[in-house]
Structure 1
């Protein structure tokens, strides 16, 4: 099969052109799809979907430590009250005994020691809280990154034509994964700590003065409404910021990838200006975020980032590169046939490339496909490699429909050399 089909220089040139044209044509639709995807967010519990038993243990210990750390501030009011009471009672007693300062010092020192005990305890549980949540955040983020890369590598080529490009892939691997890590790590512990402080304060308030506590309860509804509004605002700002960073990454990718063309047409300044435009928009969104509470920002941003990553991880491709089913071809003769094929690219479904196309390439034949741009030269290679499946018709190798053959065994038997081969580092 390695000698059965040899793409000529013109064929491989049209591969790049056809692929690029397909993506460009679908750019508007891709932008709408990305916007729709970006608008969603996962429920809070889904952020921890990839935690294992060790992470569950770390989160349980971290949550208990965060709750204890959060109770430290409400408990501080008891200590402050005792100190004030000690000063008052000691002062009254010392005035009756004509200025017995030793009695004042003894009473106040005894009560103030509670400050030290409470401070040491709060410091220990705070260290435990930060350690547990940081470790579990790193562990889960590493697992999500690995699963995301595995999911990306198993996708079909249509996925990259319609929904993803290199710039977005890099941005999500780094930016979105970091947002999730921040949300399920230290910031999650901080939120538990703040909730513990909030509810602990009300509990102590009811114990000390229930009537005043009832009055203070009236502040909860407006605070809850404000928090919900801020959470939604943070999701939108985070999504907008990450989208602009992704667009800036695309500019860098395209500029560096086609640096000869950019230099030949003096496009350096335009590339820099375009990059700066996206970075400025990302900066403006980040600046608006800076005025919000960091924990709310982290959780809201993590929910939006998780939606984008998780939908890719859970996506089942039509052509699965990691699929192990199908017939294994060990001894391939190399006869290739396209029989009555109808095909259009997923990014341009309205443009029919093949309309009942048929072709036979016997084993050992050297064939060059020649034609104008968009005539389907590279499409033949793409169908033989099973980058795509035709809408109708069959692609046969040795008389067997390619869809019945194990995908890995097909591609191991085919050699594809592009017009500008890529040299991988270490190869």
Structure 2
């Protein structure tokens, strides 16, 4: 990679994360922001005006066709008038052309609006999801989220413009058709109204059942997606236990359940359409009988009856369409409910702090902190925990599995809020700090770091802009990653693959450490961050971390060599601080820490 690449932002800004957007802000953006493609409000107004202006001519023009058809029958059935015939034919052609042109333009505009709406809806939903608290992602399955983001948003964005298009056209058509029908025969028009209540009653029953089954289908699709995702993501475990057939059968069962629900949906729809068709036929027979009586009485012409029957067939269809659209919106509310639920959800951990001091000492204090996970409210994880991390010092947090070490890290990173007590940074609660500022000053490297598909450069500079090549290489050198990066085919430009799959675990850990160090954080958290490194690399990384000057370092490690070199050691036991002090002091007390050391030596 050459100097020209220095300081570049990640492609498309995809690696830069903003902070603090609430669900209310997402809803506001949905109402106020222009659609994707950087369209201005003027453009949106033009689109909406165009759709409104094109609807009447597109629909009303078609209502003249049956009327002129009846006029032609009357002209041909009486003494033939060539001039009148030519006039009617010319008017029919003009009306048909104008109506078709307006309908085509309106349909094109709606398709354009649909594509824009789909993009905006997905963008807003994704923005809302990434700003949720960690507890949300622990309670909701990934397959459910991806299903809402891909399938449900597509369904919503398709239904809204399509139904709006059909509703406007149908409404104008119904008004126009009833106007012509009243002009031809008000008696027959009243008779046609008998069909509407029966149609609406049947539609209401059908909609209630359809809504329930469609919601079940949405949940079933999300479950089958989750089954497939888990199997693919854990393919090594599946292969090691030889459970390929079991996973295939589990996915087959999920698909079979979805197919059963879809078959039920299709059967109920077929029965509903059959009833509606029989009702239409019965109404048409009644219209023919009553129309014949009116012709015999001289109240209307044969051409008028033909026109009325054409109108009656169309108006019934459009009235049913209006009712169906309402039912269709209700029946698909299952997809919309989840999307809007996620858009409206306010994160339990707010990110609206504003503190961003120019300098930060990095003094961290846990003050009587108690915490339980939202998914397990009856199981306390931390109880009255109090300890401090001093600037320029390395503090080790030790304890058995389940003692609360990772929970302390999660609270320091503000993944959760404690139910009692506070976590302070330089004497101020963490919630008062600006979201991006806090996470630039408090950097975390976990045991299993996550890398994103992209280059080594993009992963080291993740979330940052304007980084120079010198800064990137300095961070890589400090993380003992520069040597192996130099051996890669394209150096910093080498693609790491999905989740860093092209790199070893140790290489991913070193990239993650470099990603943390390039931020020059005031507080650095290493949660088993060097567990996959060899002795030489671990010693080099430890030396780089310890030479951080005034930086506050919190270390969680099982290697006693790392713990022994810490300036201060905090021992957790059962979610509480059992003891704390230096290695020598704790060994001399022969308490919980001494037992941990002896146990590791015995192993």
Deviation at 1:147, TM superposition (A): 1.5
Deviation at 1:394, TM superposition (A): 1.8
Match of 1:30 in 2: none
Cα distance in 1 for residues equivalent to 2:44 and 2:166:
17
Further displaced range: 231-240 or 77-86? 231-240
Provide Cα deviations, 1:264-290, integer angstroms capped at 9, x if missing partner.
122322322222333333334445555
- Is residue 188–residue 299 contact of structure 1 (8 Å, CA) maintained in 2? no
Length, aligned pairs only:
365
- Is residue 338–residue 360 contact of structure 1 (8 Å, CA) maintained in 2? yes
Cα distance in 2 for residues equivalent to 1:132 and 1:368:
61
Mark the structure with the bigger radius of gyration.
2
Cα distance in 1 for residues equivalent to 2:208 and 2:168:
20
- Aligned match for 1:129, one of 100, 106, 129: 106
Match of 2:330 in 1: 300
Provide Cα deviations, 1:284-321, integer angstroms capped at 9, x if missing partner.
44455553788567533554433322232232223234
For the pair 1:233 / 2:209, whether they are aligned, the reply is yes
5+ residue gaps, structure 2, are 1-27, 35-40, 274-320, 459-603
For the pair 1:83 / 2:113, whether they are aligned, the reply is no
Aligned-partner SS, 1:371: coil
5+ residue gaps, structure 1, are 1-45, 94-102
Match of 2:420 in 1: 392
- Give matches, 1:27-426, under 5 Å: 49=31, 53=41, 54-90=43-79, 108-162=85-139, 164-289=140-265, 291=269, 295=325, 299-300=329-330, 303-321=333-351, 323=352, 325-363=353-391, 364-372=393-401, 374-426=402-454
Cα distance in 1 for residues equivalent to 2:341 and 2:385:
36
- Is residue 55–residue 168 contact of structure 2 (8 Å, CA) maintained in 1? yes
Match of 2:306 in 1: none
Aligned-partner SS, 1:350: coil
Cα distance in 2 for residues equivalent to 1:283 and 1:132:
35
Cα distance in 2 for residues equivalent to 1:198 and 1:300:
22
- Is residue 135–residue 416 contact of structure 2 (8 Å, CA) maintained in 1? yes
Distance 1:220 1:51, change over 3 A: farther
Distance 1:266 1:56, change over 3 A: farther
Distance 1:303 1:171, change over 3 A: same
Cα distance in 2 for residues equivalent to 1:299 and 1:314:
20
- Is residue 327–residue 406 contact of structure 1 (8 Å, CA) maintained in 2? yes
Distance 1:246 1:142, change over 3 A: same
Distance 1:172 1:350, change over 3 A: same
Aligned-partner SS, 2:424: strand
- Is residue 158–residue 347 contact of structure 1 (8 Å, CA) maintained in 2? yes
Q: Indicate the RMSD between aligned Cα atoms, in angstroms.
A: 2.9
Higher RCO (C-alpha 8 Å, min separation 6): 1
- Is residue 144–residue 177 contact of structure 1 (8 Å, CA) maintained in 2? yes
Cα distance in 1 for residues equivalent to 2:175 and 2:33:
27
Distance 1:289 1:182, change over 3 A: farther
